[in-house]
Amino acid sequence: MVIRPLSNNESPPMPLLLLADPSEQLVLDYIQRGQCFVAETEGNIVGVYVLLPTRPKTAEIVNIAVMPEHQGKGIGKQLVQHAIETAKQQGYQTIEIGTGNSSIGQLALYQKCGFRITGIDKDFFVRHYEEPILENGIPCRDMIRLAQDLS
Ligand code: ACO
């Protein structure tokens, strides 16, 4: 498997990107402002992430997803590690990520990759999404913010 930047002449893998964020408008905005990387195996794109510059010296992984049939094989972890290395190489001092209070697996993955919880954006998903989200039997309301120092 290789992880590489999406080229300018390639169209972004929208169905994959929408797995991480159901808002097409937000996804298109992230892709325009950030760098999109894809994980490719045997010519097929199986994973994606977008690294977005936010504040000075800070980048955020705003969208990360692996095709359902390829999940649970370590690809997500490799993508997160690749994002951390890329941000480091590009001179960022902090990398951030946010996920829902109900996203148990994602919270496990990000903490296994060195992220620490820094805060809670209360009612983020209630404010920004029209439909209620239920995940792992838990209403998704708050965004858990995590960060990692790269210096
Ligand atoms: N408890 C403990 N550990 C867990 C749990 C859990 N419930 N669930 C997952 N993990 C661990 C795994 O054991 C693994 O750790 P390990 O390598 O030490 O065993 C790690 O988390 C992740 O495993 P991977 O196989 O690398 O992850 P995967 O390839 O399945 O990708 C991803 C993870 C990207 C979250 C994938 O499941 C996915 O695409 N989900 C749908 C889209 C999504 O929710 N994206 C994130 C939205 S938030 C955002 O984009 C910023």
For the chain, how many structural domains are there in total? Answer: 1
- Ligand 1 center to residue 72 CA distance, Å? 7
The whole-model pTM stands at 0.96
The mean pLDDT value for 78-107 works out to: 98
Which residues is 121 bridged to in the sheet?
Answer: 143
CATH value at residue 49 = 3.40.630.30
Pocket of ligand 1 (CB under 6 A): 19-20, 61-66, 71-77, 97-99, 104-106, 108-109, 112
pLDDT of residue 1: 96
Q: How many CB atoms lie within 10 A of CB 144?
A: 21
Pocket test for ligand 1, best of 109, 121, 146 (most atoms within 8 A of CB): 109
The mean pLDDT value for 83-108 works out to: 98
Whole-number average pLDDT of the chain: 96
SS3 assignment, position 105: helix
Whole-number Å distance between alpha carbons of 100 and 82? 22
Closest CA to 78 of 40, 44, 116, 42: 40
The mean pLDDT value for 81-86 works out to: 98
| DSSP, res 141 | -
Atom from ligand 1 closest to the CA of residue 103: 44
The protein residue with its alpha carbon nearest to ligand 1, atom 11, reads 109
Pocket test for ligand 1, best of 106, 107, 125, 148 (most atoms within 8 A of CB): 106
Residue 98 pLDDT class (50, 70, 90 cuts): very high
- Ligand 1 center to residue 66 CA distance, Å? 9
pLDDT of residue 129: 87
Range of the domain at 62: 2-149
Question: 56-65: per-residue pLDDT in tens?
Answer: 999 999 999 9
- Ligand 1 center to residue 62 CA distance, Å? 15
